[in-house]
Amino acid sequence: MSYDIMFFEALGEENGHLVEAIEQAKAAGTLPASLTYYIGTESLQEYLAVNPDAALPDILSIKTHSKTPQAWLSSGKKKSILSRSAGYDHVEHLATVANVTSLRKYCVNAVAETATKFAFCVCGNLNQYTANTAVFERNNCISFKELTGLKATVFGVGKIGKRIYDMLSGLGLDTRAVDIRAEELSEEYGGTVRFISKEEATDSDSFLVLHI
């Protein structure tokens, strides 16, 4: 079967959300009612390994583990690639032969929010929070309050790292950052990030260390 667009590496709830969004757009008339699409959890090359004779559409949506075949890029009209990752570094070398874009802002927030949640789950009193939630206990809850004021160090403060830094700071942690581009990024971020050296970070009593 041929498709108008194919989505790869659509994992978990994203898979269902893509179907829902496309069907809503078709119902609203912002996408053609006849639009056909494929949404799979596998990477593009994994799909092609099982379907070697598959005809790929002119529009593909991928993440970082998918590799676009040269034969597809060089056939017919100029192809379009939508990267559902924090950027499109993994396909930016194709910008001269394909239309390339990404959902940068959405993906930065999604990854940063997930990392922050995991940090709190690992470092906070998650067991008490889980037990209290099961019985709707709202009093005598100390979960995560013990993190306020503790030190956190974010290694690598690009788009995602900066968002994590802001989230941790906003949640009351004493947040610092380490990056080889500290001087450049300090100017870019208007001095809003407190940079320290990697030596200071490894010698400190930082409770939480995130490598981005």
pLDDT tens digits, 125-156:
788 888 888 888 878 777 677 777 788 899 99
Our measurement of the distance from residue 212's CA atom to the centroid of its chain's CA atoms, rounded to an integer in Å, reads: 11
Lowest mean pLDDT among 53-67, 90-104, 128-142, 154-168: 128-142
**pLDDT of amino acid 190:** 95
Asked whether the predicted pLDDT for residue 211 surpasses 80, the reply is no
| 132: Cα separation from own chain's centroid | 30
Q: Are 174 and 151 in contact (CB under 8 A)?
A: yes
Confidence at 173, pLDDT banded by 50, 70, 90: confident
Residue 203: the pLDDT is 73
Token pair for residue 44?
């593009």
Strand stretches in 120-169, DSSP E = 151-155
* Whether pLDDT at 170 is above 70: yes
What is the band of 82 on the pLDDT scale with cuts at 50, 70, 90?
Answer: very high
- What tokens appear for 97 in the block? 């032969």
Question: Is pLDDT of 208 > 70?
Answer: no
Contact yes or no for 15/39 (Cβ under 8 A): yes
Token pair belonging to 169 = 């700071």
Residue 7: pLDDT band (50, 70, 90) is very high
Three-state helix/strand/coil letters over 69-117: CHHHHCCCCCEEEEECCCCCCCCHHHCCCEEEEECHHHHHHHHHHHHHH
Q: For residues 76 and 104, what is the distance between their CA atoms, to the nearest angstrom?
A: 28
By CB atoms closer than 10 A (0-12, 13-18, 19+), residue 112 is buried
Residue 87: which pLDDT band, with cuts at 50, 70 and 90? low
Kindly report, residue by residue over 95-132, the tens digit of the pLDDT: 899 999 888 777 788 888 888 888 888 777 788 888 88
Query: What's the CA gap between 103 and 85, in Å, rounded?
Result: 7
Contact 62, 88 (CB under 8 A): no
Confidence band of 54 (pLDDT split at 50, 70, 90) = very high
pLDDT for the residue numbered 114: 87
